[in-house]
């Protein structure tokens, strides 16, 4: 750490140095995959960086980090569910297009895709992406 660093940068560097190893181990146990744990640890610190709030006010850094990581895990699970629903509807649409399709079938498929789009619109921007 250099003396000329802005306070926020010093704080986040210290938080990372002191707790990254712990967070990585915690995520490894939680997820059962070293690579996913490493990605999620990085995403956790990236989210904290994006908030630009003072890290010095955090009284329980490990609780803060684990809460942030849990929220990212939940966001990831939601994205996977939406993606899976979309892929299933897409597969149904492709199957329906291969043969003769009635106007009712087209309408039903389009309604399902519109519902998925509506759900996506209601989500937080970060989760939607």
The domain segmentation of the chain, as residue ranges, is 7-128
Q: What's the pLDDT tens digit per position in 66-118?
A: 999 999 999 999 999 999 988 888 888 776 666 666 778 778 888 888 888 88
DSSP string covering 43-108 = HHHHHHHHH---GGG-S-HHHHHHHHHHHHHHHHHHHHHHHHHHHHHHHHHHHHHHS---HHHHHH
The pLDDT value given to residue 50: 87
The pLDDT value given to residue 100: 60
∠ CA 85-68-83 to the nearest 5 degrees? Answer: 10
How far apart are alpha carbons 83 and 116 in whole angstroms?
A: 9
Tokens of 61: 């850094």
Average pLDDT of the segment spanning 40-61 = 88
pTM: 0.66
Average pLDDT of the chain is: 86
Tokens of 26: 């915690």
* Res 2 pLDDT > 60: no
Write the CB contacts of 56 (distance below 8 Å, at least 6 apart in sequence): 7, 11
Tokens of 35: 């690579």
How far apart are alpha carbons 62 and 44 in whole angstroms?
A: 12
The pLDDT value given to residue 96: 66
The pLDDT value given to residue 121: 80
The pLDDT value given to residue 66: 96
């Amino acid at each position: 750490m250099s003396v000329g660093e802005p306070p926020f940068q010093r704080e986040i560097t210290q938080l990372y140095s002191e707790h990254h190893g712990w967070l990585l181990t915690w995520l490894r146990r939680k997820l059962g995959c070293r690579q996913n744990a490493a990605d999620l640890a990085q995403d956790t610190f990236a989210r904290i960086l994006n908030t630009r709030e003072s890290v010095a006010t955090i009284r329980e850094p490990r609780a803060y980090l684990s809460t942030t990581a849990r929220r990212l895990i939940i966001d990831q699970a939601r994205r996977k569910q939406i993606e899976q629903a979309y892929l299933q509807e897409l597969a149904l649409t492709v199957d329906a297009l291969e043969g003769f399709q009635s106007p009712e079938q087209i309408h039903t498929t389009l309604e399902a895709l519109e519902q998925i789009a509506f759900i996506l619109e209601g989500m937080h921007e970060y989760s939607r992406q």
